[in-house]
Structure 1
Amino acid sequence: MPLSDSPAHYGAVTRAIHWLTALLILLAWPLGLYAHALAEEIPQLTGAEQAAQVSLTATLFSVHKTMGVAVVLVSILRLLWAWVQRRPDLLNGEHRTEALAAETVHLLLYVLLIAVPVTGWIHHAATAGFAPILWPFGQSLPFVPQSESVAALFTTLHWALAWMLAAVLALHVAGALKHHVIDRDATLRRMLRGTPAPGSAAQPGHALPAAAALALLLAVMGAGLALRPAAPHAAPGTEAIAAPTLEASAGGEWQVTEGTLSLSVTQFGNVVEGQFADWTAQIDWNEDAAPGVAGHVTVTVAIPSLTLGSVTSQALGGDFLAAEDHPTAIFDADLVKLPEGGQRAEGTLTLRGQTMPLAFPFELAIEDDTATASASFTLDRRDFGVGAGMTDESSVAFAVSGGFELSATRD
């Protein structure tokens, strides 16, 4: 059985790559549709039922994405092999219209088998969290930032091109069956068994099919963007929760001029980082005080202002932060000078209607009337009833990390 191709037949390597690609596509396509359907149901579920569905959905999406990466790698291998092999000529090249259509479909298949998974891969890399690719080489891509706008653009292109791939595959299969059943030629047998069959003298060439393929590709991408605008949007079945507008703290000796309040969770083994966009801090601090209580801080956080990658809607939902019912969190603490040097905040955090102790050291530097401070701390989400149905840390870890960096000026 020859490994290489000839003008009259497909070799074993080409046939193996062809059928492996077909198998991957036939598995990945329905898997992605089913996982998407499950994801749309998640907001309507609660407790253990939601936790189980999230875990199943993430697993299916992970397998779908991993198959997509496999399709890219196999398709690149096919292109490299085709570069050094002469593809067998068409058997009906003298039928010009049909031959041009067949060549256009072939070119579109080559492009779409890479473009569809790559657009999905870019969407994955641009989105923090949820359903990792099942391989050891990381989840990011060079030159792809984590950005909601980039993610939205490429998920739209992935959606449009995936449906185009489905249509082109249907045409490809229909053409093969037409050759086998109606024309009764060896087109399908050449790919199934490597049956040799010389092509016709006339062939369609590549220039016109390439132009037609490019025009169709651009048209579908444009239609996709028009029908499904590439803008960040909430997960299916969820509605945006209006964040309360927090007024700047009226009291306190120190006023925050800039700062970040961050949060990170570990989901399915991957760290997902986010920030709260709206929070205020009322701070009193006496740098000349003796060791002991030297100040006080009250921080109020607008929970709906959280962004946490692709899991933002889930994080704000009723089984997690319950942002609609508990729109603010409050950290109230004494600021303590330690006898051995350094500082520590000792107080309570009220989150999701639960108040628990929270203490952590912080860094502080004061120059004239400007102070900079930073800290990191860890919470156990179970203490606040966050994600109570998620009892398996392989889905969402119990430990949640937080931190802040801020600059403040003295009034």
Structure 2
Amino acid sequence: MTATDARPDHPGPRNSSRRYGSVAKTLHWLTALLLLTAIPLGLVANAWPYDSSAQLAVKALLFSLHKTIGLLAFFVALARIFWAAIQPRPQTLISGRPIQVLLADATHLVLYASLVIVPLSGWLHHAATTGFAPIWWPFGQTLPFVPQSEAVAGFFAAWHWLFTKLLAAAILLHIIGALKHHYIDRDATLARMLPGQPALPDRIADGGAGGHHRAIILAIAIWVLALAGGTLLGLQTDDRATIPRLAEVQSEWAVRDGTLEITVQQLGSAVTGSFADWTAEIDFAEAPSDGLHGRVDVVIAIGSLSLGGVTTQALDAEFFNAAVFPTARFSGPIRAADQGYVVDGVLSLAGRDVPAVLPFTLAIADDTATVSGQVTLDRRDFGMGPSYPDESSMGFGVDVRVALTAVRAEAE
């Protein structure tokens, strides 16, 4: 019998072969408190509507709480696993029931892995996407070697979703097992994780290393299946990939590569995204004719927008209404300006035609043109976000940036 066992009313910080110490108990119940707070917050945040500015603010608050508490749970889980690894493992109070011991040990191992993977995958998803609801820590908004990519974010979101279910199942089995020990078996399995030190039998059965090894194998099999399932979910093709791509266009200048980005302000944070599918017919001459240098006609596939964590919201009827208006068009003549050029165009978007002037710079070298331009639009001009009448949660301004490289068609 150890010194800890000899003083049952004064438990020490370390485990013994019979009892859990105060450190293990504290980490256990702190983990439980954080999980039983973070999981309901996540469920409520996901279900919370965002049909108005006030609702969006509440949704962001709930998600920030969920993420912040989840990240704290991650570090507490790491501390708990580290402490368990360097401490003696109290022997089971179950005797003569190897299957029950096997399932209990495997459940603990699955629970430990899920305690790490669930918050870590959520953290990686947060770092890979742009959007509202920041983590309330002085770190962690972005992570080294984690690109801000919707594909990467979707991959880790799938892991987070699947392992959350595995974590919930492990917690449920853990609770059922503890209650069974307390009310049916009437042993001290639950009591020895509570404050104080319960009376224990003089002799505790040794579960044996063989049973624990089998539990490890079973837990690894469950981990592998869950990781494979999460990976398959994460690699699933985005539904937007099924949207027909715009047909190629022919013009005096052919676009070889380029980006079309937008930035919106949501709850005071900049959220940047881009359209993956757009075409541009460009007719341009260095020498003006009747004061004009040519004309541009741009067509944009709205469904190709990626806007971080708010992509779905942006494509809904409240904003772009992509289901009804699948494309936008910007066209107009090109004229010289004091610095560079401008397109005096009309932007047809979400069922409205609004005049828009796009200033841009142009450099031509060896029949290759490099273009860069930016304009700020007002979402209200296009009837977007009527449920967000002020800028407390959604800014009015939308910054549009275009950068492209084009080659003269006759030079191809």
Q: Secondary structure at the match of 2:401?
A: strand
Number of aligned residues: 395
**Which one-letter code corresponds to 1:22 in the other structure?**
A
CA distance in 1: counterparts of 2:226 and 2:407, whole angstroms:
55
SS at match of 2:115: helix
Q: Structure 1 residue 3: deviation in Å? A: 5.0
- Aligned match of 2:39: 29
- CA drift of 1:222 comes to 4.5
Structure 1 residues 293-304: aligned runs within 5 Å:
293-304=292-303
Change (3 A) 1:207 1:277: same
Q: How far apart, CA to CA, are the structure 2 residues paired with 1:388 and 1:85?
A: 59
In the TM superposition, 1:347-358 aligns within 5 A as: 347-358=345-356
2-structure distance, mates of 1:328, 1:233: 19
Please tell me whether residue 175 in structure 1 is matched to residue 185 in structure 2. no
Quote the residue 2:388 is aligned against: 390
Match of 1:363 in 2: 361
Q: Deviations over 1:308-335 (max 9, x none)?
A: 2333232122110122333333323443
Return closer, same or farther for 1:194/1:210 CA change in 2, 3 Å cut-off: farther
| CA distance 1:165–1:327, change in 2 (3 Å) | closer
Deviation of 1:286 (Å): 3.3
Answer yes or no: is the 8 Å Cα contact 1:96–1:204 preserved in 2: no
**1:204 maps onto 2:202 in alignment:** no
Q: Shift in Å at residue 394 of structure 1? A: 4.3
Aligned residue among 150, 156, 159 for 1:157: 159
CA distance in 1, matches of 2:318, 2:393: 14
The answer as to whether partners of 2:48 and 2:59 remain within 8 angstroms in 1 is yes
Alignment of 1:322-341 (within 5 A): 322-339=321-338, 341=339
- Note the C-alpha offset of 1:2: 4.6
Q: Deviations over 1:31-55 (max 9, x none)?
A: 323333346xx6xxxxxx4554444
Q: Cα–Cα, structure 1 residues 233 and 344, in superposed 2: closer, same or farther, change >3 Å?
A: closer
Report the Cα offset of residue 73 of structure 1: 0.9
Report the CA distance between 1:248 and its aligned residue.
0.7
Aligned twin of 1:245: 246
The answer to whether the 8 A contact 2:45-2:63 is kept is: yes
- Residue deviations 1:346-403 (CA, integer Å, cap 9, x gap): 4443322333343343221112322111112222212222212123434322221111
Distance 2:180 2:277 in 1: 62
Partner of 2:236: 231
TM-score w.r.t. length of structure 1: 0.83
User: Does 1:6 find its partner at 2:2?
Assistant: no
CA distance in 1, matches of 2:204, 2:362: 81
Contact 2:92 2:205 in 1 (8 A): no
Which residue of structure 2 aligns with residue 404 of structure 1?
402
Q: Compute the displacement of 1:218 (Å).
A: 2.3
C-alpha distance in 1 between matches for 2:274 and 2:231: 29
Classify the secondary structure of the residue corresponding to 1:408.
strand
Structure 2 residue aligned with 1:46: none
- Deviation by residue 1:124-157 (Cα, 9 ceiling, x = unmatched): 3333334433333243333333444443443333
2: CA distance, partners of 1:202 / 1:328: 69
Name the SS for the 2:190 alignment partner.
helix
1:379 corresponds to: 377
Measured after TM superposition, the shift of residue 121 of structure 1 is: 2.6
Greater Cα offset, 214-223 or 393-402: 214-223
Shift of 1:22: 0.7
Partner in structure 1 of residue 224 of structure 2: 218
Amino acid aligned to 2:44: Y
Task: Tell me, yes or no, if the aligned pair for 2:342 and 2:359 is still in contact at 8 Å.
Answer: yes
Deviation at 1:242, TM superposition (A): 4.6
Q: Counterparts of 2:187 and 2:301 in 1: how far apart (Å)?
A: 69
The answer (yes or no) to whether the contact 1:11–1:194 under 8 Å persists in 2 is no
**In structure 2, what is the Cα distance between the partners aligned to 1:385 and 1:366?**
38
The answer to whether structure 1 residue 76 and structure 2 residue 86 are counterparts is no
Distance in 1 between residues matched to 2:290 and 2:139, nearest whole Å: 49
Check conservation: 1:276, 1:302, Cα contact below 8 A. yes
Q: 1:18 aligns with which of 28, 47, 52?
A: 28
Q: 1:224 to 1:353 in 2, by over 3 A?
A: closer
Per-residue CA deviation, residues 259-305 of structure 1 (Å, 9 max, x unaligned), is 22222223334433322233333333332449964443332323233
Aligned CA distance change for structure 1 residues 82 and 344 (closer, same or farther; 3 Å): same
Contact 2:188 2:199 in 1 (8 A): yes
Letter in 1 for 2:215: P
Task: Tell me the SS of whatever aligns to 2:407.
Answer: strand
Contact 1:179 1:188 in 2 (8 A): yes
Please name the residue that 1:285 is paired with.
Answer: 284
Tell me, yes or no, if the aligned pair for 2:295 and 2:334 is still in contact at 8 Å.
yes
Structure 2: give runs of 5+ residues left out of the alignment. Answer: 1-9
Q: Contact 2:150–2:306 (CA<8 Å) still a contact in 1?
A: no
Calculate the aligned-residue CA RMSD, in Å: 3.1
Matched to 1:24, the amino acid is L
In 2, are the aligned partners of 1:4 and 1:85 still within 8 Å (CA)?
A: no
Which 5+ residue runs of structure 1 have no aligned equivalent?
Answer: 43-48
Distance of 1:14 and 1:393 partners within structure 2:
48
Q: Distance in 1 between the 2:248 and 2:105 partners? A: 64
